[in-house]
Amino acid sequence: MISKEEVKHIAKLSRLGLTEKEIEKFQKELSLILDYFNLLEEVDVSKVEPTFHPAEHFLKRKPSVTREDIEKSQKTEVKNKLVVAAPERKDRYVKVKSILS
């Protein structure tokens, strides 16, 4: 089980002020988490290939995993219906609140 001093040290690093009751609570909870990691160490992974990047198969196909920004043309009547349905508009544009100062 993790010691109270270790919990206090972790709390200090995290800049948390813990009561004695909270220290005892986290002592139990952190010990359970560490016990789970010990349980994971018992799993046989000898036949599992190591993974170096979770998206490795994407990287083999293309250096960038982002898609290209391609403009899709829309019918003019669809665009006009969308603009007309907006609560506020200016000319052919939808007017929205500014989010940047």
H and E: helices and strands count for the chain: 4, 2
Q: What is the pLDDT along the chain (101 residues), one digit of tens a residue?
A: 899 999 999 999 999 999 999 999 999 999 999 999 989 889 998 998 877 666 656 556 555 557 778 888 878 888 888 888 999 988 888 888 888 86
What number of residues does the chain have? 101
**Ranges assigned E (strand) in 1-101:** 89-90, 93-94
- Please state the domain extents for the chain: 4-41
Read off the pTM: 0.45
Give CA–CA dist 37/35, Å, rounded.
Answer: 5
Using only C-alpha atoms, the chain has a radius of gyration, in whole angstroms, of: 28
**Ranges assigned E (strand) in 15-55:** none
